[in-house]
Structures are given as structure tokens and as C-alpha cells.
Structure 1
Amino acid sequence: MSFPRIILLAYLLCLSQFSFGQEFFTETGYVNFLSKASLNEFNGESKQLNGLIDLDKNLLDFYIDLNTLKTGIGLRDRHMRENYLETNKYPYAEFTGKIAEGPELKNGESRKVTATGKFTIHGVERKIEVPGTIKRVNNNTVELEANFKVLLGDYKIDIPKVMFYELSEEQTVTIKAELKKK
């Protein structure tokens, strides 16, 4: 068998894996963080969450380019990226984990799940549990929604000391994503 035919055969085998598997992908998921402090509250968001869920293996992996987070105030965004998240050194946040109770879902069904895994931000990796909900919309689409808390000190992220940039130690992170088979 010639080399090009071997490559074509390998490609078709890989393609068939994706066609019948339970792997779902997104590049347009939504991330929001909420910071509450005594004098103010603000949030940041991005619609560029990337990730996948493999329902056969109960695995998931999501990451975000932290440079895409926007709070609505350009100067605050710049200070957040340069002085606190240090995105020049640590441009991504990532969660890789396993869903504890494998969701065998029929179309239209949803289920509460917990994923246990590693969350990495600012060069620090910690084991966390993330509660959420997975909904099987149809054979080609699932939706995921999850909320979890991040303590900035756990990830060696400094908290601004200037009063007008008051920031809570605890950040509430929400993700929402529609994932599709490729």
C-alpha cells in the first residue's frame, strides 16, 4: 500500500471516530466573573471560551485567553491584564477534569453534574470541584452551565490596594457553552 493511501486510510478512520463518538466542541462559550466588594461590584466577560466534552469518557477541557476578558472600562482591563493576571506570562486559564457521574442523556434531557479536575490560572494549578448542568439538546448539540468560586490568593493573584479598584478576594465564575459535534 502506498504512503498516500495509508494517510488517507488513517484520516478516514479518525473521521469515523468523530462521526460516531460523543465529543462536543465550542470556540464561542461564555465566561463571566463577578467581583463584589464593600463599595462596588463589577464583572468581566468573554465570549471566546474554547472547550470540549467527551461524554463517552466523561472528560472535559475548557480554556480561555484571559486577554479576551472585558469589564467595560478599558483602563481597568489593561491594569487587570498587566498588573494582576500578568497575561504576558500567563495568557490562559484552563480547567481539565472528569465528570463524576456520567450523564447518559437522551435528547431534551438535562442533568446536574460535578466535574473534578485541575484549574490553572496565573501559573498555579489547583484541584477543584465544579458543579454544573449538562443538557443534551439533540444528537449534535449539548449545553453546559457551571458556576464556581476562585480565591485570588490561592492562585497568587495580588488584590489591588487602591480604593477605586477595590476587589474581592473571592470571584464567582460562570460559564455557559453550547457545544457541537464536528
Structure 2
Amino acid sequence: MTTTGRGSAAHLEKVEAPGSMLTEAAAKALAVLRISTGFVFLWAFFDKTFGWGYATPSAKAWINGGSPTKGFLSGVEVGPGWLQDFFHGIAGDVWTNWLFMLGLLGIGLAFVLGIGMRLAAGAAVAMMAMMWLAEFPLDRTTAGGEPSGSTNPITDYHFVYAVTGVVLALTYAGHTWGLGKRWAALPFVQKNRWLI
């Protein structure tokens, strides 16, 4: 506690150790960011699964035999040729579809619920890195010589989502308006701290 003078009366003010606590407002803002980011991943999962007609028409829904990765990955026309070949080669594969969709669902649920934030952040970084490579914003033109549509060669939405995931995990954002505290108290999580 420190004492600061205000007029003739002394006022006691609680001072936290530097960097040890978030303010209540900051914790709530991070909770809103966490839930909103989780909803982005969950929405993508449900739209691709059921074809709600936003990014995915009903006829191309995963439950109707559509592929959540084929259209995007087979259309990769930027980046080094070997990278384009890699993405074209895995486009629409069963394992690619399942890994992508489980990633969307797992990251989305973890962020919305506030559990497994470290694991979800790592998965989000990996997914966003792969998607960044597929869109390869460093290229100004496609393999066919057309403008790539890249608006920023480095810091695009993939980078922002990846950094957001890391910040959410490092600040224990799942503890506010989430199940993070209860999750962290579970014995198997206590023994495996990477699951926090």
C-alpha cells in the first residue's frame, strides 16, 4: 500500500506488483476477444459442415459430400511452385478435411469455453501459418500473372488470429467468463500443465 496525499487527507491506494495482474476491465475485454475469436472458428466449422449459405452453399456442405479443403487448396496459385504443388496434392484428401475440420471445432470450442487455451493457441498458430502459406501474401501476382489480391505481405488476418490465440493463452483469458479456472484445477490438467 502506498499513501498519496489529496488535499489535507491521506488516501490509501492499493498498488499491484508490476505485471502481476490484469485489471478487471482488461480481463473482461480479453474474455470478449476470446469468445469472439472462438466464434469465428466455430462459425467456419458449422458453415462448412452444414452449408448455411454464407461461405459454403448447402450443396457443397461436408455432410452432403462436399470437401471443406478442396476448393481452397486446389485454387492455390501463389508462392513457390513446390508449395503450390504441396497444397494441390493434399486438397480434398480425407485426412486433410478431417484435420482441418477438427482443428476448427477444437480451437473454436476451446476459445469459447476458455479451456485448453495453450493447446488451442498452438493449433491456431499452426492452422493460421498453413493458411498464410496457402495464400502467400508475399506474392503480388499469381502463377498466371494476375494480381494476387494481397493487401499486406506480412501482417494479415492469419497473423492477427495467431497472435490473438497466443495472447489469450498467456493471459489466462479463459478464467473470465469461461471454464478456465475449473479446467486448470482438474487433477489431470494439474499433472499436464500444457493442457491449461
TM-score, normalised relative to structure 2: 0.22
TM-score, normalised relative to structure 1: 0.23
Rg comparison, structure with higher value: 2
| Bigger helix share | 2
| Bigger strand share | 1
